Amino acid sequence: MITAIIKKDATESMTWETEADEIARRRELALAQGGAEAIAKQHGQGRLTVRERIDTLLDPGSLEEIGPAAGSPQYDDQGQLIAFDPANFVLGFGKVNGRRIIVGGEDFTMRGGSPSPAGLRKSVYAEELAVQYRLPLVRLHEGAGGSVGGTGGKGASLPGAVNTPARFRSVAQAMATVPVATAALGAVAGLPAGRLVASHFSVMSKATAQVLTAGPAVVERAMGEQKSKDELGGWKVHTKNGTVDNGAEDEVGCVAEIRRFLSFMPDNIYQLAPVLGCDDPVDRCDEALLTVVPRNRRQAFEMRTIIASVFDVGSFFEIGRGYGRSQITGLARLNGQTVGVWANDCKFLAGSMTAHGAQKARRFMELCETFSLPIVSLVDEPGFMIGSQAEREATIRHGTAAVLTAAMTTVPWVSVMIRRSFGVAQAAHYGPEGYVIAWPSAESGPLPVEGGVAVAFGKDIAAAPDPDARRRELEEQLSAKQSPFPRAEALGVHDLIDPRQTRPELCRWLDRVQPLLPSLLGPTAFSIRP
Amino acid sequence: MMTKIEFETGGSVWKLLVKPGDRVSQGDTLLILEVMKMEVAYPAPVAGEVTSVYVAEGDAVEEDQLALEITS
């Protein structure tokens, strides 16, 4: 086909200029994406094109595109190129804050992002490239999955051969090898939705994105349920159920979150996370920490105040704030070095381990284990969530999965007992051979006194002349036993600390575990699944 | 502008500190929910007048249930 377009005079000369011109012309046509009308429509709906998204993500001029010549040409009767439809997935190397990554995204201006033959090949290649070059992978999603019409290319009606490599193996391998960050920027359905969640960090645009296993038309046909895209899979649904980690106001906000996530991460499992310069003194003490936990055990406190205080100023990056809210997870820095942060939020269901919270915690630990990130655990765990809803949600199974995940980790842990540490659930907050320090407000035991007294001393309380007074008396006696002082005397914790000293303690701990980190690099016994 | 205050979790209303017609400043505690034996204060997200209160002390409430409205 190509030979047909070569002009006669060109074949007789020594130059390849005609072909070089055609390469340039194809490049130009590829940059036109779905055409001016389709781009205007995309903009009219308040969304960027995939190339604009990539430009927003990458350092200026750093895109090195892979497969820009892939696509479908159209020729006239004379064999002259008259049009070129580029593959509707843009893929390449690029840099974020000077560090190379792999980036890809569907082009919604063509076929609504439903893969063209070359587009499908490029999209599948994204994970393979990331694994091969050991580079972080960013996917910027907007598009539907397959169409019953097929990908529309020649041979498209042929099913894959039996010896074709398993399609999703590279997706799983990428998650076990390099950081994968994804964004939903428009409607993301079917296969792209599956790839969106096959990530270590995902974010969706509140203004423009929906995530759908299947869209409204398919749902209505199959289920008789009439729902809009937002009702089915808008941010209010998916940042609350854990499908997507974070929500950002718009596309630019999503990209900023991805850049921030990547700043904490190593390039791959064979490297340690980068250490940044740090202006925040390691010995900084915070007077406010002495009063942050109320002496009245019934009164809640703001765990995020403690987090903001003890890590490098402004470094905390929360992941999954909208779901499993009794558990707080994220990344932060101590003296410039990345650590995983896990804490309880007693303002939400008393900080108890719910089914969602447990799944969030498990994924968090798997992330840290995969990328050899030390874990800082700020403990205020009253135990598994109880009640009929908790039973329906299989809390005990998801919770125990979190407990066993913690038991299998090999990364260094430090656990700070802030307040409560009770039941089986609390075991998830301590790593094997972890360093444990306790605030004076710490209480621990098989279960909180208030619940335990009613069960263990029910008859005693009922028989007393003043049952309420007897109950309070028993509670007081028993809560004295849950104090951290006897525990420290028995070497049940490494130390009791003045809360004001928490940051210096954490920084010293992180310094001590440095020699352990290099030996953790490489594949882990278990990695992370969505 | 009307601001709706909804419960973030289920629980029971332990203290209701405002009534319709009260003026509140941002950060004032509107009510205290008891959840799993913990007291969780709900501060006013905005200053304004409490125009409607939909719960009473002792009520068992559910996640996302409307508690009250503030008009600013």
- We report the CATH number of the domain holding residue B43 as 2.40.50.100
Taking the CA of residue B41 and the nearest CA in chain A, the distance in Å comes to 8
Name the CATH superfamily for A287-442+485-519: 2-enoyl-CoA Hydratase; Chain A, domain 1 (3.90.226.10)
The two three-digit tokens of residue A530, written as one number: 């969505």
pLDDT confidence tier of residue B59, bands split at 50, 70 and 90: very high
- Domains A16-264 and A287-442+485-519 agree in fold: yes
pLDDT of A114 reads: 80
pLDDT of A81 reads: 84
How many whole angstroms separate alpha carbon A458 and alpha carbon A462?
6
Taking the CA of residue A508 and the nearest CA in chain B, the distance in Å comes to 34
Task: Sort A406 into a burial class: Cβ within 10 Å, 0-12 / 13-18 / 19+.
Answer: buried
First-last CA distance in chain B: 5
Per-residue pLDDT reduced to its tens digit, A152-209: 544 456 677 888 878 889 999 999 999 999 999 999 998 899 999 999 999 999 999 9
The two three-digit tokens of residue B36, written as one number: 């799993």
Chosen CATH of A16-264 out of 3.40.47.10, 2.70.98.10, 3.30.530.20, 3.90.226.10: 3.90.226.10
Residue A118: closest CA among A94, A145, A154, A83: A154
Which of residues B54 and A525 earns the better pLDDT score?
A: B54
What's the Cα-to-Cα distance from A253 to each of A205, A238, A249, A259, rounded to whole Å? 8, 17, 6, 10
Average pLDDT over residues A111-138: 92
Mean pLDDT, chain A, rounded, equals 92
Residue A256: closest CA among A56, A1, A33: A56
B chain contacts of residue A385, beta-carbon cutoff 8 Å: 36
- On the CB side of A83, CA atoms within 13 Å amount to 9
What's the Cα-to-Cα distance from A55 to each of A52, A62, A280, rounded to whole Å? 5, 9, 33
* Contact status of B41 with chain A (Cβ, < 8 Å): yes
pLDDT of A479 reads: 80
Of B36, B39, B41, Cβ closest to residue A349: B36
User: Is the CB of A350 less than 8 angstroms away from the CB of B35?
Assistant: yes
How do the domains of chain A map onto residue ranges? 16-264, 287-442+485-519, 447-482
Q: Name the residue range of residue B22's domain.
A: 2-71
How many helices and strands, by DSSP H and E, does chain B display?
0, 8
Which of residues A164 and A263 earns the better pLDDT score?
A: A263
A chain contacts of residue B14, beta-carbon cutoff 8 Å: none
pLDDT of A11 reads: 56
pLDDT confidence tier of residue A147, bands split at 50, 70 and 90: low
* Cβ-contact A173, A127 below 8 angstroms: yes
Rg of chain B, C-alpha, whole Å: 11
Helices A303-310 and A502-512 pack at an angle, to 10 degrees, of 60
What's the Cα-to-Cα distance from A193 to each of A217, A244, A251, A518, rounded to whole Å? 17, 10, 17, 35
pTM of the model as a whole: 0.91
First-last CA distance in chain A: 45
The two three-digit tokens of residue A81, written as one number: 């190129």
- Residue A415 makes CB contacts below 8 A (sequence gap 6+) with A377, A378, A379, A429, A430, A431, A434, A435, A436, A437
User: Is the CB of B37 less than 8 angstroms away from the CB of A350?
Assistant: yes
User: Is the CB of B9 less than 8 angstroms away from the CB of A349?
Assistant: yes
Helices A449-456 and A467-481 pack at an angle, to 10 degrees, of 120
* Cβ-contact A326, A344 below 8 angstroms: yes
DSSP classification of residue A351: G
pLDDT of residue A461 exceeding 80: yes
Average pLDDT over residues A68-87: 89
ipTM of the complex in this document:
0.84
B chain contacts of residue A346, beta-carbon cutoff 8 Å: 38
Burial string for A459-474 (b: 16+ CB within 10 Å, else e) reads eebeeeeeeeebbeeb
pLDDT confidence tier of residue A274, bands split at 50, 70 and 90: very high
B chain contacts of residue A349, beta-carbon cutoff 8 Å: 9, 35-36
Residue A333: closest CA among A265, A391, A397, A396: A265
Element (H, E) at A24: helix A17-31
Per-residue pLDDT reduced to its tens digit, B11-56: 999 999 999 999 999 999 999 999 988 999 999 999 999 999 999 9
How many whole angstroms separate alpha carbon A421 and alpha carbon A245?
26
Total structural domains within chain B: 1
- On the CB side of A267, CA atoms within 13 Å amount to 16
The two three-digit tokens of residue A344, written as one number: 């309880």
* Contact status of B12 with chain A (Cβ, < 8 Å): no
Nearest CA in chain B to A352: B36
Of A347, A385, A448, Cβ closest to residue B40: A347
How many whole angstroms separate alpha carbon A130 and alpha carbon A91?
11
Three-class DSSP category at A326 = coil
Which of residues A462 and A507 earns the better pLDDT score?
A: A507
Per-residue pLDDT reduced to its tens digit, A386-419: 989 999 999 999 999 999 999 999 999 999 999 9
Kindly report which listed range (A67-81, A244-258, A270-284, A292-306) carries the lowest average pLDDT score: A67-81
Average pLDDT over residues A22-47: 93
